[in-house]
């Protein structure tokens, strides 16, 4: 795992924000027929429009939420197909337009958001044989729901047609959440795996994935692959 460089991360974030703000100012000043200058595409609330800084913040949100999630879902899906070759053969033989992100077990989870929530114990208790005293710091990992042995048989194995006995809801900041780009992301992931199946059916990861030093993003930094060229 590559050592996390805080200064490099801070500089990249600042540069990205500055670029986004400058782009918003540039577009605002130009008299063109671009989308952001069309009257119908100038949203206002109580007579106020988004500032350049607010547009930049929204742009950063779209870049992260629309990129990290889909990119990592594809990478985790590729890793899952490599780990479970028998399931992979079933997938390729009866491909229904969905990638392994729809499978059960070692799912293609590329989640950006609250993967965990740290808390301090308010009282002494015991959970699944583990004793926790008042004041102990504990962490709830939401993604562990996909590995619940009381709900899923063999939860660590990728299964294409597995049953989902429970409905799992995602939440952000204690509020119900539905990703506005979910349908686009599903389509992007499906098309990617459809093309991999058609063009590089034997593609596999060649070594362990490099993960970022983060408990916020369940991502993959690098995943070398290999396949047999055709024609």
Q: Kindly state whether residue 91 falls inside one of the protein's structural domains.
A: yes
What integer pLDDT is reported at residue 43 of this predicted model?
56
CATH of the domain at 211: 1.10.630.10
Alpha helices in the chain (DSSP H): 6-29, 52-83, 85-93, 182-199
Cβ neighbours of residue 99 under 8 Å, at least 6 residues apart?
A: 73, 74, 77, 108, 189, 190, 192, 193
Q: Kindly state whether residue 34 falls inside one of the protein's structural domains.
A: no
What integer pLDDT is reported at residue 72 of this predicted model?
85
Percent of the chain with pLDDT over 90: 16
pLDDT score of 145 more than 90: no
Total count of domains within the chain: 1
If you average pLDDT over residues 46-68, what whole number do you get? 81
List 132's β-bridge partners, or say none.
125
**Pick the residue with more confidence: 59 or 207?**
207
What integer pLDDT is reported at residue 32 of this predicted model?
54
Q: Kindly state whether residue 31 falls inside one of the protein's structural domains.
A: no
For the whole prediction, is pTM greater than 0.85?
no
SS3 205: strand
**Pick the residue with more confidence: 172 or 29?**
29
Q: Kindly state whether residue 219 falls inside one of the protein's structural domains.
A: yes
Of the spans 31-35, 43-47, 96-100, 103-107, which averages the highest pLDDT?
43-47
In tens, the pLDDT along 157-186 reads 777 665 555 555 544 455 566 777 888 888
pLDDT score of 105 more than 70: no
Domain housing 70: 50-226
pLDDT score of 24 more than 70: yes
Q: Kindly state whether residue 110 falls inside one of the protein's structural domains.
A: yes
Lowest pLDDT segment from 124-138, 151-165, 183-197, 201-215: 151-165
Q: Kindly state whether residue 189 falls inside one of the protein's structural domains.
A: yes
């Amino acid at each position: 795992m590559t050592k996390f460089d805080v200064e490099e991360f801070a500089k990249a974030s600042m540069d990205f924000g500055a670029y986004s703000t400058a782009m918003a100012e540039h577009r605002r000043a130009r008299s063109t027929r671009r989308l952001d200058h069309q009257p119908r595409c100038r949203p206002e609330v109580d007579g106020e429009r988004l500032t350049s800084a607010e547009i930049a913040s929204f742009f950063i949100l779209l870049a992260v939420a629309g990129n990290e999630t889909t990119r990592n879902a594809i990478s985790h899906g590729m890793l899952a197909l490599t780990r479970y070759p028998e399931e992979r053969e079933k997938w390729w033989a009866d491909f229904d337009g969905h990638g392994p992100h729809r499978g059960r077990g070692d799912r293609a989870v590329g989640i950006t958001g609250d993967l965990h929530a740290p808390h301090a114990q308010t009282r002494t208790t015991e959970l699944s044989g583990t004793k926790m005293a008042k004041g102990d710091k504990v962490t709830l990992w939401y993604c562990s729901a996909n590995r619940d042995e009381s709900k899923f048989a063999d939860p660590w194995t990728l299964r294409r047609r597995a049953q989902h006995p429970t409905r799992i809801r995602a939440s952000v900041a204690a509020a119900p959440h539905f990703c506005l780009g979910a349908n686009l992301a599903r389509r992007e992931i499906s098309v990617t795996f459809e093309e991999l199946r058609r063009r590089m059916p034997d593609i596999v990861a060649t070594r362990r994935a490099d993960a970022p030093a983060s408990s916020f993003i369940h991502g993959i930094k690098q995943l070398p692959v290999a396949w047999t060229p055709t024609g």
